[in-house]
Amino acid sequence: MIANLHPALPLFAGAALTAFFGKKTGGAVSLAAALASVWAVSILPGDGGAALSLHPAGMALDFLRADKLAVLFAWIFTLSASLSCLFAFGRQGGPERAATLAYAGSALGAVFAGDMVTLYVFWEAMALAAVFVILAGGTEKSRAAAYRYALVHLFGGICLLAGLVLLAAKTGSTAFTAALLADGGPGSLLVLAGFLINASAFPFSAWLPDSYPESSPTGGVFLSAFTTKTAVYVLIRGFPGFDILIVAGCLMILYGLIYALRENDLRRLLSYSITNQVGFMLVGVGIGTPEALNGACALAFCHILYKSLMFMSAGSVIAATGKRKLTELGGLFSAMPLTFAATVVGAMSLSALPGTCGFVSKPMVLAATADAHMALMWLFLEAASAGTLLYAGLAVPYFIFFGQTPGAPEASKKPTQGREAPVAALAGMGLAALACLGIGVYPWPLYALLPFAAPEFVPFSPGRVTATIELLAFAGLFFALYAPILRRRPGITLDTDFFYRRGGRFLYRLSDAATGGINTAAADMAARAAAALHRLTAQGPQRLAAMVVTLFSPLLGKNAQRLRDEAALAAQTWTPPVGVTLAAALFGLCLILMLVL
């Protein structure tokens, strides 16, 4: 029975409890909840034997499909949550702690979901929790970014829900399997669109660098791990071998690389790097061979480690200096040597330097590309890998810890004042760095977790090591020679969100003008109707009395005009003679009888 314990339950329990404690006690509760989720993953059989399902109204809801693919992602999600909780220990408020644990728990729920309904519930819960993580940044920019994040992911959720409904109507099943999604019909394409939006696929990539940098220094570490990698997981699960994913992945690689080379904001640069690296994973999913899928899984696993480490380092620098622009930073090596060491390990892992986890994972995708006889694709991925060293492996550590490039303004060359990160944060960064190096030196435990049967990958072959070192050395030489060109400049990098930000304002003004005109016309019509009703009620009795006395004036032997004047005066003062009132009543009764009969 205990083997069926869902690993997300400790995280949700921690989210419910931690909000009621102070920073240190709440931090301990959060860390304990994350470690409990690691233990829950460790007791899962990993062969699909564990199951937890409900059957309301004849519908099968599978909450715990614990096969090798799900368990692999559960391992890295829970380990990342534990490292992130350690890094954030004592520095998060109750609402942010609750939001981050709920966010991690929702990602685990999506990973173990065995049907589309359960997946959708946790998918939306993950998006909602992420909104509150971003809001915890506590600034006006955070609130605006959280609002835009919610809108983009609401659209993605609508696509997913619409696809789910169409598939259920067509097949009568809500099972989450590749066979169900393989028909390429409207339902499958809508589900694919929902997944790609969460993966930050171009042109929907701008939500990521727009939102993650506006979170708190600790919240960004959690955000870097879950949303995009959950999307990679569901794409591996549902759409392996879809050629469109190769195209989407290449666009993401190119988009992320170009923007990361230009970006001046430290955490926006790392956010573009996420899109760039997820692009490699999508290429592997699109190729669809067991070797390529294992490469995508291994890269996702390692990417969470080194990208969390990079966000930890960036968060420590921002917390220590209050600055986040590369043009405002420099000379921090003497003040933050341990943070520098962690940054170097993360940057080298991101660049796939031999001896790091990046080297034993990313080349798996490149090797699968070569084995699939996609020579041009292989060349593109190799070049993009070298570009990673330019924007992250060398640029980030150099600009932050040593200073600006030659030719930069003198003011920017002054050392930035800062202090070393807290002990808990250093412990989190240290463990993440050790994991990056440990997997890089001894990757076979990771390879044993990979879910697909594929030929053994040999990471340390002389040819592969030599080729990687040569490629990275060439990129390093390029950086040394052309560093002034790569120097960041103050400014704002326009992204595709420019179109829906400005376009949204234009549509708002257009709709406001259109609906404003309708409202004005409706108000004018209402005013005219009210005035007409007022005239009718105010002058109606007077005119009715005048009409009646005109008809009966010959019988009364009086002048008709005089009678009308008397009747009008009586109607205005509500004092008509009894005879006139009786005559009006008889006239009205006759009209009613004529209409009825």
pLDDT at residue 258, as a whole number: 87
Residue 39 has pLDDT above 50, yes or no: yes
Q: Same structural domain for residues 391 and 517?
A: no
Mapping DSSP onto H, E and C, the string for 406-455 reads CCCCHHHHCCCCCCCCCHHHHHHHHHHHHHHHHHHHCCHHHHHHCCCCCC
Does some domain include residue 37? no
pLDDT at residue 406, as a whole number: 41
pLDDT at residue 545, as a whole number: 60
Helices assigned H by DSSP within 288-410: 290-321, 337-350, 362-371, 375-388, 395-401
Residue 41 has pLDDT above 50, yes or no: yes
Q: Same structural domain for residues 355 and 410?
A: yes
For the record, the structure tokens of 536 come out as 């009718």
Q: Same structural domain for residues 423 and 569?
A: no
Give the range among 244-258, 304-318, 465-479, 498-512 with minimum mean pLDDT: 498-512
Q: Same structural domain for residues 453 and 513?
A: no
pLDDT digits (tens, 9 = 90+) for 105-130: 999 999 999 888 999 999 999 999 99
Q: Same structural domain for residues 311 and 389?
A: yes
Q: Same structural domain for residues 511 and 368?
A: no
Does some domain include residue 588? yes
Helix or strand (DSSP H, E) at 61 = strand 61-62
Q: Same structural domain for residues 505 and 473?
A: no
Q: Same structural domain for residues 423 and 352?
A: yes
- Phi/psi for 536 (5° steps) reads -65, -45
pLDDT at residue 230, as a whole number: 95
Q: Same structural domain for residues 464 and 573?
A: no
pLDDT at residue 404, as a whole number: 55
Residue 292 has pLDDT above 50, yes or no: yes
pLDDT at residue 325, as a whole number: 85
- Percent pLDDT > 90 in the chain is 42
Does some domain include residue 398? yes
Q: Looking at the DSSP assignment, which residues form a beta bridge with residue 175?
A: 115
Rounded Cα gap, residues 150 and 124, in angstroms: 10
The pTM for the full model equals 0.81
Does some domain include residue 64? no
Range of the domain at 320: 240-479
Given a contact cutoff of 8 angstroms between Cβ atoms, the answer to whether 111 and 230 are in contact is: yes
Does some domain include residue 356? yes
Q: Report residue 557's pLDDT band, with 50, 70 and 90 as the boundaries.
A: low
Does some domain include residue 402? yes
Does some domain include residue 494? no
Domain count, the chain: 2
Three-point CA angle 79, 269, 368, nearest 5°: 65
Give the range among 139-143, 298-302, 434-438 with minimum mean pLDDT: 139-143
pLDDT digits (tens, 9 = 90+) for 208-232: 998 999 999 999 999 999 999 999 9
Q: Same structural domain for residues 428 and 398?
A: yes
Given a contact cutoff of 8 angstroms between Cβ atoms, the answer to whether 418 and 333 are in contact is: no
Give the closest residue to 308 by CA, choosing from 572, 562, 104, 47.
104
Does some domain include residue 411? yes
Q: Same structural domain for residues 434 and 390?
A: yes
Q: Same structural domain for residues 514 and 461?
A: no
pLDDT at residue 536, as a whole number: 63
Rg (CA), the chain: 34
pLDDT at residue 410, as a whole number: 47
